[in-house]
Amino acid sequence: MDTIQFDQQVAVSPGQPPRLTREELANLSDADLFRHVDAVTAWLAGTFIDTPATAAVQASMDMTVRYNSATLPGSKTILAVTGANGAGKSTACHQWSARFYRAQTADLPRAGRLPQWNPHEGVRADVAPVVWINLQANAKIAELDAQILQFLRVGVSGTIRDMTLRAVRAMARHRVKALLIDDVHLLNTRYRNGSDVLDHLKHLNTELGEIGGTLILVGANLEQTALPGDPQIATRLRLLRVQPQPVETAADRTAWAQTLTAVEQAIFPVLPAAVDGVLAEQHAGLLHELTGGYLGELVTLVKHAAIQATGTRVGTITEQILHECPRSVRAVSNLFTRETR
């Protein structure tokens, strides 16, 4: 991914399919039903669902990025968004990035495809408030720098030291405010050169700090990686946990119902026969059993169920539909509690 692709990606919002009544859904011709299912599928697949948990993570990200951008130059708080696989970390961070990017670039002039600013009198440069990197497995310093340079569409060549310098300069020139590195658990910190990679992250954070930027690390179970073990990182690190939701206590169950309410409200437009509480009241227990409380599993299951409810003209989510929907291997094998990384 690079700045141009990112800019395009954050601009598209999926078109909502026509809102049908129960009767209209029941009476569609087969050909019209086919087209409707297609439109419903496209819309659901591209729709982010805000829940209390995603809102909390995004509010913390907003606050830290804002605070970091206003404090004195120097090393800033590093955010680490951590939690189990499939908890919804990447999706929540991606959504935050899209919103932040749009807010930061809304009033800027555009030349060609990208928003621009004047770093110096008479000089123009693209503005890239967010750099988003999906880390490659076992990435080392050079790969990390190369990915930053590629995202900012700057040539990749030269020695490691050269590349770092260019990555840092490019981030200043393109007014980067947030450097997000996803799948940080893939960083090669365990072998030889491992501590170099941690030192490099510290260096990037210090340099970003000079321009008011924030380093945001996203990854599975980061508490168990070398990150918090590094004293310099630990003092600056702020962990945001995105975890599966339990239903042990009454308070847990209330929170679970709030999540389900958020999900059902989001998909109501395509379920003409659904009533309030269809998920939060009718299927709360079953949905927890089927998804282990993982937001990613939940959203994916419910979206599939909504597509099924449309294709079968039922127009709401029933127990039978939930049982028939495809689920992840983890869900089917009930591996929820055994995951370590």
Ligand X SMILES: Nc1ncnc2c1ncn2[C@@H]1O[C@H](COP(=O)(O)OP(=O)(O)O)[C@@H](O)[C@H]1O
Instruction: List residues binding ligand X (CB under 6 A).
Output: 48-49, 54, 83, 85-92, 295-296, 299-300
- Contacted by 167, from Mg ion, ligand X, none: CB < 5 to 8 Å by type: none
Residue 244 interacts with which of Mg ion, ligand X, none, CB < 5 to 8 Å by class? none
3-state SS class at 137: coil
Q: Which is nearer to ligand X, 115 or 269 (CB)?
A: 269
Nearer to ligand X, 117 or 336 (CB): 336
Angle at 184 between CA 182 and CA 186, to 5 degrees: 115
Q: How far is the CB of 166 from Mg ion (least distance, A)?
A: 28
If phi > 0 it is left, if psi is from -120 to 50 it is alpha, else beta; for residue 334 that is left
For Mg ion, the closer CB: 217 or 263: 217
Residue 81 CB-density burial (10 A; 0-12 exposed, 13-18 middle, 19+ buried): buried
Residues of the shown chain interacting with Mg ion in the complex, contacts defined by CB under 5 A:
90
Encoded tokens for 23: 């009767």
Which partner in ligand X, Mg ion, none is near 260 (CB below 5 to 8 A by kind)? none
Q: How far is the CB of 230 from Mg ion (least distance, A)?
A: 22
- Beta carbon of residue 94, minimum distance to Mg ion (angstroms, whole number): 9
Whichever of 90 and 205 has its CB closer to Mg ion, that residue is 90
Q: 124 near 114, Cβ under 8 Å? A: no
295 binds, among ligand X, Mg ion, none (CB under 5 to 8 A by kind): ligand X
Pick what 10 binds: Mg ion, ligand X, none; C-beta below 5 to 8 Å, kind-dependent.
none
**DSSP label at 313?**
T
DSSP classification of residue 327: -
Shortest Å, Cβ 311 to Mg ion = 29
d(CA 208, CA 129): 12
Would you say 86 or 213 has its CB closer to ligand X?
Answer: 86
Specify the residue, 146 or 267, whose C-beta has the smaller distance to ligand X. 267
Contact 117, 124 (CB under 8 A): yes
Task: Report phi then psi at 274, rounded to 5.
Answer: -80, 145
Q: How many Å apart are CA 275 and CA 282, to the nearest integer?
A: 10
Minimum distance, C-beta of residue 254 to ligand X, in the bound complex (Å): 19
Q: Report which residue type is found at 268.
A: F
Q: Considering the complex, what minimum distance in angstroms separates the CB of residue 89 from Mg ion?
A: 5
The entry of Mg ion, ligand X, none that residue 259 binds, CB within 5 to 8 Å by partner kind: none
**Residue of this chain nearest to ligand X (CB atom):** 296
In what side-by-side order are the strands of the sheet with 114-120? 110-111, 114-120, 123-126
